[in-house]
Amino acid sequence: MPNPLTELARVLGRMHDDDGHVTIPGFYDGVVELGDRERALMALLPFDEATFLADAQSTATWGEGGFSTLERIWARPTAEVNGMWGGYSGPGHKTIVPAHAHAKVSFRLVAGQEPARVQQLVRDWVAEQTPAGITSEIELYGAGVRPCLTPLDHPALQAVQRSMSRAFEAEALYTREGGSGPEADLAEVTGAPVVFLGVGIPDDRIHAPNEKVEIPLLLKGAEAIAYLWEDLARTYVSPPR
């Protein structure tokens, strides 16, 4: 009889091709591709891959072919196996065929993708991949989080860049950032873009038990925000007549 753990491993292994692309049909439909300007801006960042790998406690990067490490992190959707379990893993011999196999999988979405559609694509794909003698079932954790992207040429984002540059007395460069928040919903409801002004550094260990903040950076951030309000007022508020 088929082994659920073996078959699950096969299905998960087919989720990517040899070049790191997600193989689920339709997964990349609508994805907003990187433009030349954004690629050029990313290339300006002082990114050292060896340092990045050391911080990540890894010895190699991995992902879609044709993209740099930063492009994969910030602009490309992902499918990741977070965990697998099932069968017997205790001491001693137990040469069984397990009755169940389980896996937890997550998908990071980017602009142009809709969570509900991706969820249905995954359901359809898993159903097609399930072999005879195996029953598959998918449990979803919520409705998912919609991706959000503010265009580089938006006046509000340009105001953030000017404010940061003024506070730090150096040209502020751009990064993208991932997360799971209501930014897309806020932008849709308010009809306004979402912009981020962050002054954290990688070793702040955000969300960890020993999270910290650098006070000088915090004060610089407050200074940048003061400049930002001033800039936004000039950009969006008409002068009195």
pLDDT in tens, 181-232: 889 999 999 998 888 888 988 789 888 899 999 999 999 999 999 999 999 9
State yes or no: pLDDT of 240 exceeds 70: no
- Tell me which residue has tokens 């502020």: 172
Of 24-38, 80-94, 141-155, which gets the smallest average pLDDT?
141-155
- Which band of pLDDT confidence, cut at 50, 70 and 90, is reported for residue 176? confident
Q: Give percent of the chain with pLDDT exceeding 90.
A: 78
pLDDT in tens, 38-59: 999 999 999 999 999 998 899 9
Residue 129: count of CB within 10 angstroms of its CB: 18
Which residue, 109, 111, 113, 85, is CA-closest to 99?
Answer: 85
- Which band of pLDDT confidence, cut at 50, 70 and 90, is reported for residue 121? very high
Instruction: For residue 171, give the DSSP letter.
Output: P
Of 63-77, 101-115, 200-214, which gets the smallest average pLDDT?
200-214
Q: What domains lie within the chain, and their CATH numbers?
A: 4-129 (3.30.70.360), 155-236 (1.10.150.900)
Read off the pTM. Answer: 0.88
State yes or no: pLDDT of 238 exceeds 80: no
pLDDT in tens, 165-174: 999 999 999 8
Cα–Cα distance measured from residue 79 to residue 58, given in angstroms and rounded to the nearest whole number: 19
Query: Which whole number is the average pLDDT over 98-114?
Result: 96
Q: How far is CA 12 from CA 7, 32, 80, in A?
A: 9, 26, 9
pLDDT number for residue 206: 86
Mean pLDDT score of the chain, rounded to an integer? 92
Give the gyration radius of the chain's Cα atoms.
23
- Convert 97-111 into a string of H (helix), E (strand) and C (coil): CCCCCEEEEEEECCC
pLDDT number for residue 179: 76
